[in-house]
Chains A and B, each alone.
Chain A
Amino acid sequence: MNAIAFDKASLSVGGRSVLRDVTLAVAEGEFIGVLGANGAGKTTLMRAVLGLLPLSAGTIRIFGLPATRGNAAIGYLPQAKTAAASLRLRGRDVLAASIDGHRWGIPSLTGGKKAEIDRCLALVGAGALAARPMNELSGGERQRLLIAEALIGAPKILLLDEPLANLDPHQQQVVVDLVRELSRSLKLTVLFSAHELNQVIGAVDRILYLGQGEAAIGPVDSVIQPSVLSRLYGAPIDVVRANGHIFVMSGGAVVERDQHHDHAH
């Protein structure tokens, strides 16, 4: 059975069509790199898988069942820098707050919950980090902790929205390797969105490239083609390969680089 299956799914946000008639399937245990220009719908696609956005047409199924909010089979790391990141609160408490966080009542931390937090911290090697305040962690350490949080409750799917944003190249590599390793050892299906193909190229099984309301999914070499990308960008695209890196170019400029720059400001 497919972990995630889109069937003729269409989706609009604020009157703007983000996905049109998209059909795709992700097999259990696959590591999918999600790419596309800013606003191409990477975050929207993940929110739809989480059941947070209603489809205008078609269906999204998670292990055969319709996508619904609060699906315990999915672990999620949102893109937005979480409010907790700037607070002087220890990571362990922030993680604990998410367990059963949807239930009313007073927060409580039973032995079972503590053990689950310890298990997930151990999976990412963040046991010692969890005792430190969130605002004193480096970007990479914080992502490690938040990935541990996404693993709480043993989900089968991980949706990681731009987990490499604002990390230096070394930290980016550490996070990519960690998620790849988790995906293998826990048989997790992973959707991992990124700004640049080269950040994830060594880790992904396939890539999902979004643009102009369309989606192309497949092995890197079949998706990263001028014909496919020109369609997704709605502009002529060249693909340049050098030293194992692939650059997606438009009119002589690297499009991903430009987006990154825009995004930072």
Chain B
Amino acid sequence: MLTDIFAYDFMQRAFAASGMVAIVAGAVGYFLVLRGQTFAGHALSHIGFAGATGAALLGLSPLGGMLVFIVLAGIGMGALGERLSGRDVGIGIVLALALGFGLLFMKLYPSNAAQVTSLLFGNVLAVSKSVLVSLAGLAALTLAGLAAIGRPLLFASLQPELAEARGVRVRLVGILFLAIVAVAVAQSVQIVGVLLVFALMVGPPATAMLLTTRIGVGIGLSALIALAEAWGGIFIAFHTDWPTSFCITALAAAAYLAVLALRKG
């Protein structure tokens, strides 16, 4: 059965792409949940929708356009810092506006329904060789960035006032982190789409935090859970012909609820 799956080139690419992206999303997502910035991550993905459709309007590559848009938005959010992060209303308005712009760009540059659907809900089975290479580069960049700011990021996430007093440049760390989140979101959109980024970036870390109280173990576990859910989702999709993104989100929700139930029970 396994050999069946891997007989297809597009399946090999799907496993490779979703594997890399899942590890990145799981690791970055852990800090996103730790910092209570999941909603900001969600908003960034919607900004990515405007970025991708806007890029199509300008004749640029959707991934490139999305990256530029989301990273700029991430840096902007980080720079506004306390004034924006955690402010649901402000983020909500930006999120809705971004989706609205995405709709406008689509109207100005009509794309076919399949393109829009894959942007909104992902289409991991359609990952091309060039996109796969881009994803590998971005994944390496994201993990390297996360490693570079890991220590001050952790400190500033857990105890911002103390971190500031000890000389951590809390705002700079916040900006760099959201820039990293932005790149991770752009990658995740390729797999599960704009609307379902949460499945990879929030589900696995939330599940990992239920399973362990150790930070290092939690980050690793989060990445592993994301990987298992992404690959498991593709596997289920292959055999059921259900949408891959649905299978991944279903696994993410099931894993979280199962762990929650086990802990309570």
**Measuring CB to CB, which residues of chain A are less than 8 angstroms from any residue of chain B?**
47, 50, 52, 69-70, 74, 76-80, 82-84, 87-90, 93-94, 97-98, 100-108, 132-133, 149
Contact = CB atoms under 8 A, between A and B. Distances in A.
Given A106-B147, A106-B150, A98 B166 contact: yes
B152 A82 contact: no
B260 interface: no
Contact of B168 (A102, A108, A133): A102
A50 B213 contact: no
Contact of B151 (A50, A88, A101, A149): A101
Nearest to A101: B155
B166 A90 contact: no
Contacts of B240: none
Contact of B158 (A70, A82, A106): A82
B196 to A, nearest CB: 25
A100 B166 CA distance: 9
25 contacts: A52-B164, A70-B167, A74-B165, A76-B165, A77-B162, A83-B36, A84-B158, A88-B209, A89-B213, A90-B214, A93-B214, A93-B215, A97-B151, A97-B159, A98-B158, A98-B159, A100-B151, A101-B155, A102-B155, A102-B163, A104-B148, A105-B147, A105-B148, A105-B151, A133-B213
Contact of A104 (B152, B209, B215): B152
Given A76-B165, A101-B168, A102-B168, A107 B160 contact: no
B210 interface: yes
A82 B161 CA distance: 8
A98 to B, nearest CB: 6
Contacts of A74: 165
B149 interface: yes
Contacts of A103: 151-152
Which among A50, A80, A93, A97 has the highest number of chain B CB atoms within 10 Å? A97
A195 B216 CA distance: 38
Contact of A70 (B35, B147, B149, B166): B166
A77 B166 CA distance: 11
Contacts, number: 102
B157 interface: yes
Interface of B: 34-36, 147-152, 154-168, 209-210, 213-216, 218
Contacts of B159: 78, 82-84, 94, 97-98
B149 to A, nearest CB: 6
A105 B218 CA distance: 18
For the complex of A and B, list the 4 residue pairs with the smallest distance between their C-beta atoms, beginning with the closest: A70-B167, A101-B155, A78-B161, A90-B213
Given A87-B158, A93-B216, A102-B167, 10 more contacts: A52-B164, A70-B166, A76-B162, A78-B159, A82-B162, A83-B36, A84-B158, A89-B215, A101-B168, A102-B168
Contacts of B214: 89-90, 93
Nearest to A83: B158
Contact of B215 (A70, A80, A97): A97
Nearest to B155: A101
Nearest to B147: A106
A78 B162 contact: yes
Nearest to B33: A87
A104 B154 CA distance: 11
A82 B165 CA distance: 14
A84 B147 CA distance: 21
Contacts of B147: 105-106
A106 B147 CA distance: 5
Nearest to B218: A89
A80 B209 CA distance: 23
Nearest to B169: A102
Nearest to A84: B158
A126 to B, nearest CB: 16
Which among B150, B155, B159, B209 has the highest number of chain A CB atoms within 10 Å? B159
Contacts of B158: 82-84, 87, 89, 94, 97-98
Which among B36, B155, B157, B163 has the highest number of chain A CB atoms within 10 Å? B155
